[in-house]
Structure 1
Amino acid sequence: MLTIRGLRKEFPGPVVALAGLDLDVGPGQIVGLLGPNGAGKTTTMRMLTTLLRPTAGTATIAGADLVSDPAGVRRRIGAVAQGNSTDPTCTVSEELILQGRLHGLTAAGARAAELMKTFELTDRPTGQLSGGQRRRLDLALGLVHRPAVLFLDEPSTGLDPGSRATLWACVREARDAGATVVLSTHYLDEADALCDRVVVIDAGRVIADDSPGALKASLGGNSTLDEVYLALTA
């Protein structure tokens, strides 16, 4: 689903935010991007969702070229940013139907009803939703057009444990329905419980890429993913 070679991003200064990312992601995987603040995670997500143009490198996402066909990439992906993006005066169904129509769905109302049932959302103004409900709505909006790849930028930040567990279940349902998921997170327990693979980025470079179990085994004994992460980024 994703083939990335030498992806690089420089900002004036020059500041190298990403120093040549190589990554392959197969269908049906949940891949977590980990790393300290400033490591390049958000820059990577913004490039792969066509919000930033790479300085160098290539990427193919669900068959579309990131540089030469960004519109094709956008048709194939869903993206959920860190902040909520809904209008507090609009109802849940209005937001979902609008998103469906923007993607050209002919049965946007039926798709909205389906997602409201899946994500257990009631039809009321989004400004009345709890934090966990708003994040579930964000996820539903990202999935309304059934994207091949779903990008989630720190999806559970600020949620209580119960809301986080519900969100995890929704992400797994999205994967089970056929989406490949790429998410960034600062929560090591989230990466351990949710991700099939973990990619650790530091100073703009990939320093580890494996399953949570394999990364923990590499440190020996009964190591936690927190301990592995601290050892890698020390």
Structure 2
Amino acid sequence: MAAMTPTPVDRGPAVDVRDLTVRFGEFVAVDGVSFTVPTGSVLGLLGPNGAGKTTIVRVLATLLPATSGTAGIFGHDVRRDPHAVREVIGVTGQYASVDEELTARENLLIFARLLRYTRAGARRRCDELLEEFALSDAADRALKNFSGGMRRRLDLATSLIAEPPLIFLDEPTTGLDPRTRQQMWATVRRLVDGGSTVVLTTQYLEEADQLADNIVVIDHGRVVAEGSADHLKSSVGTGTLRLVLRDGAERATAGSVMEQLAGHQVEIDSDGSLAVPVNDASLVTDVLIGLRDKGIEVDDVGVHKPTLDEVFFQLTGNREDTV
């Protein structure tokens, strides 16, 4: 948990991980992972269930020792200087770390006092956070009467009492409804706009697509891909060209033209449209000209860009689990 006045940090990487390995007996949970997180950015950690994402977060938050390798937080080694690391981080796990019998205000006040806020300072900070996370109206209600979304917002508020420069969010929106998830996304964006750095693990690929500046894909404890969402999407091709013909009887001729120009097999979708992968945007024009030259009229045309889901499935070969 972060201290009330965080230790000043430089403008180097917020997180620097080198050859990190974690073993539990014979089982290798994290296998030689390396990555950096620039200050003021959001890193998304993606991977199938059990890939090692939470284990990495626990090591970086000084909650679990690594077997080998190094990890630094704003230049502080997590193994040699854990106290300095804890002063500049906030951690929100998958389950609320709060007392069910107490009110939201009481929970926040307890944590604020533990972080050495004065009584008056603790009250001010709690009021700010209750307002920020839309909990003011429920501030004096016992947590056992809170919805899942309210609990998650309070847990995030608790981790931000000391305004840490680095925040670990381990699947913070698990179980939330779409509206509450959108609210949490807005909160993360505000934190980054204010200068914070965020390391985010998530079971929602759209979440990483929306929030992350850089994404590290973990599978079986190893990094299998890294880059921005756009970079990862481009790794599976520019996109898919889909055409709807005016005359369905011309599908065979049109499909032959498309395959010849695009160099890939054409698929016919359930709605009768023709689809073919295109690795170069200029091929779209070539196909349309080729169809025009054959006298084939097109009613509708579109290019479908790869989704992060498709990238994830291709990289991990896992179509049943999400992350």
- TM-score range with shorter-chain normalisation? over 0.9
In the superposition, the TM-score normalised over structure 1's length comes to 0.96
Aligned to 2:43: 31
1:144 aligns with 2:161: yes
- Corresponding residue SS for 1:219: coil
Aligned to 2:127: 113
Deviations 1:19-65 (A, max 9, x none): 11111111111111000112111110111111110001111112321
Partner of residue 226 from structure 1, selected from 290, 309, 320: 309
Percent identity over the alignment is 50
Aligned to 1:203: 220
Is contact 1:31–1:199 with CA below 8 Å preserved after alignment?
yes
Shift of 1:99: 1.2
Shift of 1:193: 1.1
- Corresponding residue SS for 1:108: helix
Q: How many residues are aligned here?
A: 233
Shift of 1:103: 1.6
Q: Superposed, which structure 2 residues align to 1:71-220 within 5 Å? A: 71-106=83-118, 107-122=121-136, 123=139, 124-220=141-237
In the superposition, the TM-score normalised over structure 2's length comes to 0.70
Is contact 1:34–1:186 with CA below 8 Å preserved after alignment?
yes
Runs of 5+ consecutive residues of structure 2 not aligned to the other structure: 1-13, 240-304, 318-323
C-alpha distance in structure 1 between counterparts of 2:97 and 2:79, whole Å = 26
Aligned to 2:63: 51
Shift of 1:79: 0.3
1:65 aligns with 2:77: yes
Q: Relative contact order (alpha carbons < 8 A, sep ≥ 6): 1 or 2 greater?
A: 1
C-alpha distance in structure 1 between counterparts of 2:151 and 2:190, whole Å = 17
1:2 aligns with 2:15: yes
Q: Highest CA radius of gyration, 1 or 2?
A: 2
Q: Which runs of 4+ in 1 moved over 2 A?
A: none
C-alpha distance in structure 2 between counterparts of 1:129 and 1:170, whole Å = 19
C-alpha distance in structure 2 between counterparts of 1:197 and 1:105, whole Å = 35
Shift of 1:70: 0.9
Matched AA of 2:36: D
